[in-house]
Amino acid sequence: MQRKRAPQAFSVALSLSVALSLSVALSLGVLVLSAGSGVAQTPEPFYKGKTINFLVASVPGGINDLTARLISRHLGKHIPGNPNIVVQNLKSSGLALINRVYNTQEKDGLTIGIVERGAPQLAIMGDPNARFDPLKVTWLGSVSSYRNDAYTLSVNASFYAKTVDDLRKTDRPSAKIGSTGAGATNGIFTNIAKDVLKLNIQHVRGYRGAAAVFLAQQRGELDGQVVGLSSMKVGQPALWQAGAFRPLIMFGRTTRFSEFPNVPTGRELTKDPKALRLLDFAEAPFFMALPLIAPPGLPAERAAALQKGFMAMTKDPAFIAEAAKMRLELSPIDGEAVRKVIAQMMETPADVIAQFKEIAGTKN
């Protein structure tokens, strides 16, 4: 009798085992779904009521700061959930900012930054302080690709030089051109003007931000600086409208700027193939002039929300009108276009990068 009931007992035990296994599997499935629900959360409920921290490695009044504050007033309404956006100025370099955003542990889409356009270039050059991979950054886009801008060597209107040819005359006083220091874009192009184009320039370093350089020009400490055309128009509108500055060279362009048809591009001032290759690499960051970043590894739907929101903002009539009022040049590109500029820079021959590194660190 016992042997006849054994199959039934075995069947019951097997059923209990299967039921238990299914219960465990279902429980684990619920846990997995629960754990993943935060990641899979759609952007609108995630961003609703939240604040995005917008980091800027610039003192108030510089072009990056002014651009960031303009963006902060418009970007939120183009991101699902309409988050608040608060600008935070950091007392640090552009490299420190991108390192901070790139290496943050909180890859949640609540931290963005506007970075110095030359920061990815430093990583490509192998700068030991660049702790990021420029192709892994979440690039949102740039409000400027320099289509309607230029990086100018400009002097005070009172300075003797009327054209760049006047800076070739060694019997005249050197033009005192100010910059924020070695490695900064304005310092690099001051060195290019001096050491590659052989202009009669004295490089004066160490100013904290473009606003300080403008102030030194007004005090007569400096004769000029290498600075963006839009930076003069946006940062010093009264002085610009008063005709206080005279552009002598237009960097960051392959053709002359229509607003200043008599001012040559940097490329027109040399026929040396090596110098022209150097300018290719040096000028590349201008074509992603004011780039916005977020950390790598964001949930895909949040990265897309930020990127799409950025491009939607650049088409917003209210944003365009305020930018025009500020005289900010707009020629926006998306994050993928920024990545393409960086990818092209990464193909630069090693000897050109070595020459650029020497120019960037020149002490004279």
Tell me which residue of 114, 112, 125 sits closest to 83, measured CA to CA. Answer: 112
Burial 38-63 (b: 16+ CB within 10 A, else e): eeeeebeebbeebebebbbbbbeebb
**Looking at 263, 284, 305, which one is the last position of a domain?**
284
**Structure confidence at residue 182 as a pLDDT band (50, 70, 90):** low
Same domain for 104 and 48? yes
CATH number of the domain bearing residue 299? 3.40.190.150
Same domain for 336 and 244? no
Same domain for 261 and 170? yes
Q: pTM above the 0.85 mark?
A: no
Same domain for 134 and 237? no
In a domain, 16, yes or no: no
Tell me which residue of 83, 64, 63 sits closest to 74, measured CA to CA. Answer: 83
Same domain for 121 and 61? yes
Helix (H, G, I), strand (E, B) or coil at 233: helix
How many domains does the chain divide into? Answer: 2
In a domain, 18, yes or no: no
Average pLDDT over every residue of 74-89: 98
Q: List C-alpha distances in Å: 240 to 57, 214, 360.
A: 25, 11, 29
Domain range holding 197? Answer: 151-284
Pick 12 or 203 by higher pLDDT.
203
Same domain for 187 and 123? no
pLDDT of residue 21: 47
Q: What is the pLDDT of residues 314-364, one digit of tens each?
A: 999 999 999 999 989 899 999 999 999 999 999 999 999 999 999 987 444
> Which of the residue ranges 40-44, 117-121, 209-213 would you say has the lowest mean pLDDT?
40-44
Pick 183 or 96 by higher pLDDT.
96
CATH number of the domain bearing residue 247? 3.40.190.10
In a domain, 246, yes or no: yes
In a domain, 29, yes or no: no
Helix (H, G, I), strand (E, B) or coil at 142: strand
